[in-house]
Amino acid sequence: MTHRFFMAASAALVLAMLMSLATPAEAAKKVVRPFTAEGTAVLTDLSEDGTRSTFDTAGVNSEQGPFTGQTFNTIHKNGKQTGTFYTDDANGNRISFSYSIEPEGDGLAGTYKVRGGTGPYTGANGGGELVLTFTDTGVNFAIEGDISTKHD
């Protein structure tokens, strides 16, 4: 009899824990919005073999307004490029991204994914398209997609 009681109590506890992880109130707090950004990137570091580079970035996005950040890029043998970048707003809140781009026309194009952040962007996700064009002084970029965050 004690064994049955223990099994029933354990099952009830597990069920209660699972239900608390995905309550309707928590799901309702997740907000998905369109996300856009435009900016410039200036090369600040290049590896000796030319396959890894760092860029300082600045621009404006639909979540943070004006931002600054950095991009860390790797060029692969097939011409594809992958990397990560972040944007910091004036209050120090960060959005982190990853991307994958390939040569297209006179520039590069591909996709990005939101990988979280700090402050109101903790746990953020989303994604969309990324387009880069080359200039005499660096790179212009444009982003269009969505971002999902939890707001109180």
Domain range for 47? 31-150
Number of domains in the chain: 1
Residue 57 lies in a domain: yes
pLDDT tens digits along 51-75: 999 999 999 999 999 999 999 999 9
Residue 133 lies in a domain: yes
Task: Tell me the pLDDT band of 99, cut-offs 50, 70 and 90.
Answer: very high
Mean pLDDT, residues 79-86 taken together: 96
Query: Is pLDDT of 10 > 90?
Result: no
Q: Percent of the chain at pLDDT above 70? A: 80
Helices H / strands E in the chain, number of each: 2, 8
Residue 139 lies in a domain: yes
Residue 9 lies in a domain: no
Residue 131 lies in a domain: yes
Query: Is pLDDT of 137 > 60?
Result: yes
Q: Which amino acid is at 106?
A: D
Report the predicted TM-score, pTM, of the whole model to 2 decimal places: 0.79
Residue 58 lies in a domain: yes
CATH number of the domain where residue 51 is located: 2.40.350.10
Task: Tell me the pLDDT band of 9, cut-offs 50, 70 and 90.
Answer: very low
Q: What is the DSSP string of 43-73?
A: EEEE-TTSSEEEEEEEEEETTTEEEEEEEEE
Residue 15 lies in a domain: no
Residue 113 lies in a domain: yes
pLDDT tens digits along 20-44: 444 455 554 778 999 999 999 999 9
Selected residue with higher pLDDT from 12 and 40: 40
Gap between the Cα atoms of 19 and 27, Å rounded: 12
Gap between the Cα atoms of 33 and 149, Å rounded: 8
